[in-house]
Amino acid sequence: MSHNTIIDTNFNFPGQVSVYKGKVREVYNINNNLLVMIATDRLSAFDVVMPKGIPYKGQILNQIATKFMAQTQDLVPNWLIATPDPNVAVGHLCEPFKVEMVIRGYMSGHAAREYKAGKRMLCGVELPEGMKENDKFPQPIITPATKAEMGNHDEDISRENILKRDIVSEADYLVLEDYTRKLFQRGTEIAASRGLILVDTKYEFGKTKDGKIVLIDEIHTPDSSRYFYADGYQERQDKGEAQKQLSKEFVRQWLISNNFQGLKGQTVPFMTDDYIETISERYIELYENIMGETFEKADVTNIQKRIETNVLEYLKS
């Protein structure tokens, strides 16, 4: 069975100034004014992009992010202007802040690993004694990360250091913290209405040309957030069992069981078409659980052509 996916784009739109290619998204700068962001079907894990695309993954990520932006714009302004295609978001060109605002409601992932290693201070935030993995924090904590200058791993940083190193001004940073808490609160409420727990997530912000701070990139997607199923959460905690989660963790676990963690000398295990199909189905399941609606598959007969036609049509208007 062959899968129609979009792995790479090479468009030449009118007014195109430059193209930036991230791990999953490709961003076209139009006239230093607009950004056309295309979510591809690439899958990255352990900072490595897998050789095959996952059907509908780009559409899923793009639609979760853009729909959540619509559902939070009353709280926090964002960069988005339009979604001319299921895989495409168009928005204002912004200058991104050099910090990622990570917020955690529960002791999971990176925070749990640091805690197990005996640390009781994370990004300048004191962690209570006697917690175990996946316990809820008394209040959500903000643990920012800065884009590392060298290499591509983000580094933990405290609010104090962000201000001291003048990465963000104090006035701006207070806005980022306020927006982060508001978005997380709304995300938590939406997740709860769908039987989910929003465990932790990260937000990125930028400044528009007229100096307005806006939310950019993605929001509450399974690539940027961790979700647990609420049903049975407490029971699993009490028994010391692993939580049932909704994120791309299942791919990481499969890779680990096939001796791959992105380390030197390791090769990406071969993914059969059947396995790719199951990943695609899991992403659709993620979408339907997170959004509380049925996923409508876009026409993938010729994705490149479809995207190009829709974007050109939008830019003309």
Q: Is residue 255 part of a domain?
A: no
In a domain, 39, yes or no: no
Domain range for 177 is 96-246
Cα torsion angle, 17, 211, 101, 160, sign = positive
CATH number at residue 175: 3.30.470.20
How sure is the predictor about 245, in pLDDT bands with cuts at 50, 70 and 90? confident
- Residue that the structure tokens 């990360």 belong to: 145
Whether residue 10 is contained in a domain is answered as: no
The answer to the question of residue 262 being in a domain is no
The secondary structure of residue 74, as a DSSP letter, is T
Mean confidence (pLDDT) of the chain:
94
What is the chain's Cα-based Rg? 20
- Candidates 70, 3, 81, 79; CA nearest to 41 is 3
How many Cβ atoms sit within 10 Å of the Cβ of residue 168?
20
Alpha helices in 32-169 (DSSP H): 57-72, 109-116, 159-164
182-233 pLDDT per residue, tens:
999 999 999 999 999 999 999 999 999 999 999 999 999 988 999 999 999 9
The number of distinct structural domains making up the chain is 1
Residue 153: which pLDDT band, with cuts at 50, 70 and 90?
A: low
Q: What phi and psi values does residue 214 have, to the nearest 5 degrees?
A: -130, 155
Summarised one tens digit per residue, pLDDT across range 277-302 is: 999 999 999 999 999 999 999 999 99
Does a structural domain hold residue 227?
yes
pLDDT band at 1 (very low <50, low <70, confident <90, very high): very low
Residue 177 has pLDDT above 90, yes or no: yes
The CA distance from 1 to 12, in Å, is 31
* pLDDT band (50, 70, 90) for residue 152: low
Residue 201 domain-assigned? yes
Residue 125 has pLDDT above 90, yes or no: yes
pLDDT value, residue 248: 82
122, containing H or E segment: strand 121-122
Alpha carbons 15 and 128: distance in angstroms, whole number: 53
